[in-house]
Amino acid sequence: MTTASSTIDFLADVHDRDFEQIVLCRDPEVGLESVIAVHDTTLGPSLGGVRMRQYQSSVAALADAMNLAQAMTYKAALAGVSLGGGKSVINADPRVANRDEVLVAHAKYIASLGGRYIPGVDMGTSVRDLELIGRHVEVVSSQRGDPSYFTARGVVRSIEVALDACGRSVDGSRVAIQGLGNVGLHVARMLTDAGADVFGADIDEARVHRAVNEIGVIAMDLDDILLADVDVVAPCAGGGVVDEQVVAGLRASVLVGAANNMLSHNALAQDLRERGIVHVPDFVANAGGLLAVDAEVRDDDSELEARVDAIADTARDILHRSESGGQDSVSVALTMAQELVAVNRKYRPYFRS
């Protein structure tokens, strides 16, 4: 049961984080419970993946949607794309029997926003799912293909920058990857090709076997991967995995990964800095997928790889400002992104039209 105090807390959170719109969606006939979060459309229509997973509660689903949408705003700003931050989550097991009905019901809610939110592929959804959603929504991304390669490419470029800040290179380094799904597998392959020794773990043993057999990844226990004795730890699965205990036990000198909101809370970035661990924020490192989606929406991918590789320049700038200014890298990156949004705030065409 929702209490008056929890409702007030939610409304205060929406206000304090400057969310434009939260849509709570239900269709009891098909069993849909979902959330569409539009954080900011200052730079353009909000874009974000459709995540499908079984949450512990509707409150957890709402929190995930809001956190991911807000991060997308900052990711888009720092990546230099004309898009805002959004996200939607469907609170259901991806293996649900009437999956298509649930997706269509969710798509109709997306369509009701009139283009303010552009959906894409995310955890638990596929290109085929977005094709289905696209029958009901005018503008949909991720229909040409999975952007995972470009997400991974940006993560690898960020790892290269972080290692360089430590006086190291990828060749000869030891990297532990948590999560060997589409993005993690690409990261493993790129790093192995560059001469790194790659260790990997995943909740799905089939993914681990594939990484071992196809790439030569060294399998590790999932419980040990984040605290492995390596140079780089790269979380590439779910968010919130780096908490106080992990930060205290990290043996790596670099933390860079693809997982959205990998820190359980942003204050841990200062703890990482105090321990001398070089950290490129996830909303900087994993922006390659967003750049790929932006290229699809604009129907122009002529400079896509160059734009993804330029993530390295942004990462290098953030690390330099962090070092020279005595701030943690997340605070630096957030300030840069918020300033970019604030400069354009008065225009906000998708908010006022």
What is the set of active-site residues? 87
Asked whether the beta carbons of 291 and 160 are under 8 A apart, the reply is no
Can you name the residues that pair with 33 across neighbouring β-strands? 26
Could you write out the DSSP letters of every residue in 207-253? Answer: HHHHHHHHH-PEE--TTTGGG-SSSEEEE-SSSS-B-HHHHHH---S
* Strand 174-178 with 218-219, pairing: unpaired
Distance of CA 129 to the CA centre of its chain: 19
Tokens of 347: 């225009």
**How big is the chain, counted in residues?**
353
Nearest to 285 by CA among 178, 175, 198, 187: 187
Give the 3-state DSSP-derived string for 134-181, with helices as H, strands as E and coil as C. CCCCCCCCCCCCCCHHHHHHHHHHHHHHHHHHCCCCCCCCEEEEECCC
Tokens of 204: 């799905």
CA angle centred on 179, ends 209 and 337, rounded to 5°: 155
Compute the chain's Rg from CA coordinates. Answer: 19
Tokens of 50: 């459709």
- Beta-carbon contacts of 25 under 8 Å, excluding residues fewer than 6 positions away, are 32, 33, 34, 35, 36, 105, 106, 109
β strands within 95-138, DSSP E: 117-121
Nearest to 249 by CA among 222, 278, 272, 281: 272
Tokens of 281: 């924020």
